[in-house]
Amino acid sequence: MKARNWMQVGGVMLTVWGTSTMLYTEATRAGQEPTTLRALYGLPRPLSLGAPRTALVLVDFQNEFVEGKLPLPEARPAIRRAAELAAWGRRVGILVVLVQNVATRPTSPVFAVGSRTTELVPELAPHAEDLVLQKSTGGGFTRTTLDAELRARNIDAVIVGGFMTHLAVAITASDAAVLGYRVIVASDATATRALPGAGDERGVDANALQRAALDAMADRAADVMPCHAVMAIPVTR
């Protein structure tokens, strides 16, 4: 029942987590450790990054998740880590992309056009050399020019951080992988919130949902690692 609960609460991403939970239990009972699809396919972890061919994509770092109607318990630490990551990216010559969610409906209760809560958080105010894009749904690639902008610059690797881990971050990472980019998710530059259960099912707390979303991305779409590990990867210019 627990696995079914996660499946109903979190949609596609948590279906993977719920399934992997059952597989984990079965594997450990058989004396085996579970593995990821990335490991089975032999996909290597990044040994270096080429600055001109890498973008740091920071999605939905907006006041709505700090002081608006969708406060995230770990928003502040994630913002600090993302700001450090952005400073590092600019220093080593990596393109910083800031994606902002703006609702198309004028009366939207969240992400309304012109509202303070829709603004980017001050810690991630754009620099002149940054690329800033707006979206109205999904992830960074959803109905935006992000893919075209990156391909025009011959970028083939993306580092992703943002809010919320189970939605915009997961969609951005998955879309990037499908489009052929090498993907890294900076785990501590992400955060999410608790969700109520679907129907009469039990809900899920923020920590469990955060772990599930990161584990699901790490299964196939992305290398998932904390910011300090990202910034330790050698960068060539």
**102 part of a folded domain:** yes
pLDDT at residue 5, rounded to an integer: 41
Q: How far apart are CA 92 and CA 82, in angstroms?
A: 15
**29 part of a folded domain:** no
**199 part of a folded domain:** yes
The CATH code of the domain that includes 173 is 3.40.50.850
Task: Compute mean pLDDT per 10 residues along the chain, 237 residues long, and list them.
Answer: 39 40 52 90 96 98 98 98 98 98 95 96 98 98 98 98 98 98 98 94 97 98 98 97
Owning domain of residue 53: 45-236
pLDDT at residue 9, rounded to an integer: 36
**10 part of a folded domain:** no
Looking at the structure of the chain, the number of domains it has is 1
Q: How far apart are CA 128 and CA 13, in angstroms?
A: 35
The answer, as to whether pTM is greater than 0.75, is yes
**35 part of a folded domain:** no
**71 part of a folded domain:** yes
pLDDT at residue 33, rounded to an integer: 86
Q: Convert the pLDDT of each residue in 72-111 to its tens digit.
A: 999 999 999 999 999 999 999 999 999 999 999 989 999 9
**126 part of a folded domain:** yes
**31 part of a folded domain:** no
